[in-house]
Amino acid sequence: MDDSGAILCQLSALKDMLDQVNEEIEANFQITRDIESEIVKCSEFERTLAVRESELMKTMYMLQFEIKGLMAMNVTDDLLICLMCMYRILDESRARRECLQKELSCMKMKQHEILKGVEEEGHGKVGKLLAEKEYLENEVRLLGRKISSLQNSMSDFVQEILEGIDAYNSELAIVVESGNSENDKLVKEINELKATLLATMSS
């Protein structure tokens, strides 16, 4: 019974450890899912930046075309002012384009670092937790077999005890029955002696 109790306690502890490992694995999977969600957001932002860059490029080409057309004409003061404004707009567009390209480059680098980190962590911590989970599951199976074997042994032992008790009861019943027969015989003999004594005394 002590061995069975100790094994059950050990089995309970191993199951608790296994539950904890499963929780840690699930937490790591959740982190991975969160990172993947962020990567999706980065990809969407990257597409948005690409669209904005395309629009700015179109605007820039249109301005360049208009500027070339104006330069071919006789430039008046008003046209000169308009031309300067267009140049300024063109410079701003180029600056925005460069800024967007830098942001896009940073996002790509961040995405690459995140993917690399997820990959390394996946091969490291999660792999270690999975190995530990497999070890604990094997321990639980082994303890389950030990408990089953111990229960079978205890069942056989109890069966032997019950069979011994049945045999003893049978023997005791025979002895009691034999004792009752002897007792009846003695009572009969005593009664006969009493009758003989009474007959002798009356004569």
Structural domains for the chain: 2-145 (1.10.287)
Summarize the confidence of residues 177-196 as an average pLDDT.
Answer: 77
Report the share of the chain in percent with pLDDT over 70.
65
Both structure tokens of 123? 């091969």
pLDDT for the residue numbered 181: 77
> Tokens for 94?
């180029």
| Confidence band for 123, pLDDT divided at 50, 70 and 90 | low
**How far is residue 52's CA from residue 45's CA, in Å, rounded to a whole number?**
10
What separation in angstroms does the CA of 188 have from each of 174, 178, 181, 202?
21, 16, 11, 21
- Higher pLDDT: 52 or 68? It is 52
Q: Give the mean model confidence (pLDDT) for residues 52-72.
A: 70
Of the pLDDT bands very low, low, confident and very high (cuts 50, 70, 90), residue 93 is low
Per the structure block, which two tokens stand in for 79? 């046209």
Would you state the pLDDT for residue 53? 72
**Identity of the residue numbered 59:** T
How many percent of the chain have pLDDT more than 90?
A: 0
- 54 touches 93 (CB < 8 A): no
The overall pTM is greater than 0.85: no
Check whether 145 has a pLDDT greater than 70. yes
Question: Which residues, in sequence order, are CB contacts of 80 under 8 Å at separation 6+?
Answer: none
